[in-house]
Amino acid sequence: METFNPLLLTSIMPMAGLLGILISPNTNVKLCRNVALVTSCLTFIFSLLLWVCFDRNSRFFQFIKTFNWVSYLNFYYTIGIDGISLFFIILTTFLIMICILVSWNSVEKYIKEYLICFLVLEFLLIQVFCVLDLFLFYIYFESVLIPMFLIIGIWGSRERKIRAAYQFFLYTLIGSLLMLIALLTIYFNVGTTDIQVLRNFEFREWYQIVLWLAFFSSFAVKIPMIPFHIWLPEAHAEAPTAGSVILAGILLKLGGYGFLRFSLPMFPLASIYFTPLIFLLSLMAALYASFTTLRQIDLKKIVAYSSIAHMGLVTIGIFTLNTQGIEGSIILMLSHGLVSSALFLCVGILYDRHKTRIIKYYSGLAQVMPLFTSFFLFFLFANIGFPGTSSFIGEFLVLLGAFQVSTFTCFFTAIGMVLSAAYSIWLFNRVSFGVLKIQYFNTFQDISRREFWILFPLLLTILWMGIYPNIFINELHFTIVNLLEIYCYK
C-alpha cells in the first residue's frame, strides 16, 4: 500500500476548490466565497502536515512523487521538498487564506473569477516550490504572472492599473527569456532537466558564467534588484490589497528561491565570481531604496520601496555563501513575507475607509483608532528589525554572515537598517500622532472583528519567529549544510 503523501494532497487541493467554484452558480456569491475559504484553510492545514511529517535530520528531498510525463525525452513530473521549500509552501498557503478573507467585502465585481485567480495562483506557487524539474519550474515560474496580471489589471484600485499590469507582466517575462535559452542549452548538453541530476553535474567554468548570467536576468527582476525594480512600486500602488499581499509576501521571494535552488548548487564558480557584483547591487538597493522611501507620499509606495531595501539584505545573505548568511536570508524572506503583508493590510484598512493613500490626509489616528494604531506600531517595529521580532533574527544572521566575508559590506548593510528605522518611525509619527484632520474625514472606525482576526495571527507568528527561531532554523540547517557541501565539492 502506498504511503500517505501530504505534499501531493497539498498540491491538488487548490484545484479541487477551483472545480467546486466552477460548478457553483454565478448568482450564489456567498457559496463561492465559502468554497474558496474552506479550500484555502484545508490547503494550509495539509501544508502544516508537511512540517509535522518532515524529517529535519535529512539532507535530501522528501515526499518525492514521480509521474511518467514524456519518458522518451527524459521528462518526468517529480515533486518533493527540502527544508528551503517547506516554509515557502506554508507561507504561500497561509497568505492565500488571508487574501481571501481580506477580499470578503472589498471586492464587488467578478467575485467568482477573482477567487478562481487566487486558487490558480496558489496551485502554481506550490508547484514552483516543490517541482524538481527545471523545465517544469520555468513553466510554473512564468505562469504565476498570468493570474497576477489579471488581479492587478481587473481588480486594481486606480486608473493606472492597466498600465501597471502590463508593466509588471512585460518586465518580468522579458527578464526570463534568457533563462529559457539557458534551460534549453542545459537540456541539450546534459540530456535531462531533473534538478537532482543537475545539482551533481559539473559544468565548465566559462559555461557556468554564461548560464549564471542567464538565470540572474530572471531572478534579479523577480526580487527585484536595482536597476530592475521599476515595475514593483507601480504594481503595488495599483494592485488591490490582496494583490499587494501576495506580491510582496510570495512573488518577491521567487528570485531568492531561484538563487538558492539553481544558481548556488549548479553554478558555484560563477556564484563566487559574481559575488562582488551581487554585493554592490544589493547595497545599492538597501541604501537607494531606503532614501527613496523617505520621500514617498503614498503609503503603498513606502512599503513597496521598503521591500526592495529588505530584499537587498536577502541577496547579501544568500551570497555570503556561509551557513549563517543563507539561513538568515531565508528567515528574513519568511519574515518579510509576514511583515510586509501585514503593513499592506494596514494600508488597505485605511484605504477601505477613506479611499486615499496619501499621507498628508492622515494624522492623529491614535486618538480615534487605538487598536489599529497598536497593530501598525508593532508591524513597523518588526519592519525595523526590533529585537523580539522575526526580522531581527534574519537581519542579525545576515550581518553575521556578511561580517565573515566583508566588513565593508557588513557596515553599509547596517546603515541600510538604520535608514529602515528612520522611515518606519517617521511614517508612524505622521500617521498616528498630531492633530486629527477632521476636515478631510467625518467618521473614523477602528478595525472590525474580521480585520482583527486577520492581523492577530500575523502578529503571533512574527513574535513566535522572533522569540523562538530555533524551531525554524532546525528544519533549514541540514538542507543548507547539504547545499554548501555540494557547493564546496564542485
pLDDT, tens digit, for every residue of 135-162? 899 999 999 999 999 988 888 877 788 8
What confidence category does residue 120 fall into, taking pLDDT thresholds of 50, 70 and 90?
Answer: very high
482 pLDDT more than 70: yes
* Of residues 354 and 211, more confidently modeled: 211
What confidence category does residue 203 fall into, taking pLDDT thresholds of 50, 70 and 90?
Answer: confident
Q: What phi and psi, each to the nearest 5 degrees, are found at residue 460?
A: -65, -40
* Amino acid 490: pLDDT: 57
* Amino acid 71: pLDDT: 63
The b-or-e profile of 317-346 (16+ CB within 10 A means b, else e) is bbbbbbbbbbbbbbbbbbbbbbbbbbbbbb
75: β partners: 70
Least confident of 189-198, 248-257, 401-410: 189-198
* Amino acid 176: pLDDT: 85
344 contacts 245 by C-beta, under 8 angstroms: yes
5 pLDDT more than 80: yes
81: β partners: 62
Give the type of residue at 134: L
Distances from the Cα of 360 to the Cαs of 42, 272, 372, 426, 432, in angstroms? 42, 46, 18, 13, 12
Cα–Cα distance for residue pair 304/310, rounded to 1 Å: 10
What confidence category does residue 1 fall into, taking pLDDT thresholds of 50, 70 and 90?
Answer: very low
Least confident of 91-105, 353-367, 460-474: 353-367
Mean pLDDT of 154-181: 84
Mean pLDDT of all residues belonging to the chain? 87
* Of residues 134 and 71, more confidently modeled: 134
Each residue's pLDDT tens digit, 264-299: 888 888 998 999 999 999 998 888 888 888 888 888
pLDDT above 70 coverage of the chain, percent: 96
Sign of CA dihedral 199, 205, 208, 209: positive
Of the candidates 10, 147, 200, which has an alpha carbon nearest to the alpha carbon of residue 86? 10
What confidence category does residue 336 fall into, taking pLDDT thresholds of 50, 70 and 90?
Answer: very high
* Amino acid 489: pLDDT: 58
What confidence category does residue 40 fall into, taking pLDDT thresholds of 50, 70 and 90?
Answer: very high
Mean pLDDT of 188-192: 84
Mean pLDDT of 296-320: 89
* Amino acid 397: pLDDT: 93
72 pLDDT more than 70: no
What confidence category does residue 335 fall into, taking pLDDT thresholds of 50, 70 and 90?
Answer: very high
* Amino acid 110: pLDDT: 84
* Of residues 484 and 272, more confidently modeled: 272
Distances from the Cα of 127 to the Cαs of 12, 71, 323, 416, in angstroms? 10, 20, 26, 34
93 contacts 10 by C-beta, under 8 angstroms: yes
What confidence category does residue 337 fall into, taking pLDDT thresholds of 50, 70 and 90?
Answer: very high
Prediction pTM value: 0.93
What confidence category does residue 3 fall into, taking pLDDT thresholds of 50, 70 and 90?
Answer: low
* Amino acid 399: pLDDT: 92
Least confident of 131-140, 213-222, 258-267, 352-361: 352-361
Each residue's pLDDT tens digit, 416-449: 888 888 888 888 998 888 777 776 667 778 888 8
* Amino acid 341: pLDDT: 92
124 pLDDT more than 90: yes
171 pLDDT more than 80: yes
